[in-house]
């Protein structure tokens, strides 16, 4: 799995959710399967977690991924939905089935696709899950 940090994570939102959940940095780290120093770095903005790690952190504090990101930085398009699902681009490509083309997925995230075939839209919707 590719380890690429989620751009737009708001560390203050993560800290507020952690504190509201009554968790220490160490407790959250243990529950999410990350190092305590990583949680501190995420909260301070020094480091950005990969989508799968952010998904684990969000679940531990009872939040959705999009609750922990600055929507203006992440946006509202396909990339934001993918990040909110805790997936890397490669993960989404694999989960979208054999008919998906990686270059089409990349173009979609860049806003270069004007019309998405129904089969691709259905595959992406299934891979991204319910909102």
- The 10s digit of each residue's pLDDT in 48-73 is 888 788 889 999 999 987 788 887 77
pTM over 0.85: no
DSSP the chain: ------TTB-HHHHHHHHHHTT--HHHHHHHHTS-HHHHHHHHHTS----HHHHHHHHHHTT--GGGGB-HHHH-SSHHHHHHHTT--HHHHHHHT-TT--HHHHHHHHHT--S---HHHHHHHHHHH---
Query: What pLDDT does residue 75 have?
Result: 67
> Over the stretch 84-95, which tens digit does the pLDDT of each residue have?
666 788 888 998
For the cut 60, the answer to whether the pLDDT of residue 111 exceeds it is yes
Mean pLDDT of 6-17: 89
Query: What pLDDT does residue 97 have?
Result: 85
User: For the chain, which domains are there?
Assistant: 11-71 (1.10.260.40), 75-128 (1.10.260)
Arithmetic mean of pLDDT over the chain: 86
């Amino acid at each position: 799995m590719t380890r690429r940090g989620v751009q737009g994570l708001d560390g203050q939102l993560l800290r507020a959710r952690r504190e509201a959940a009554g968790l220490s940095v160490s407790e959250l780290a243990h529950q999410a399967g990350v190092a305590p120093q990583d949680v501190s770095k995420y909260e301070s903005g020094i480091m950005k977690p990969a989508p799968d790690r952010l998904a684990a952190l969000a679940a531990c504090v009872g939040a959705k991924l999009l609750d922990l990101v600055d929507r203006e930085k992440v946006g509202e398009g396909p990339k934001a939905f993918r990040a909110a699902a805790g997936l890397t681009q490669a993960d989404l490509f694999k989960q979208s089935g054999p008919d998906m083309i990686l270059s089409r997925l990349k173009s979609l995230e860049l806003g270069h696709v004007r019309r998405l075939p129904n089969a691709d839209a259905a595959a992406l919707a299934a891979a991204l899950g319910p909102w």
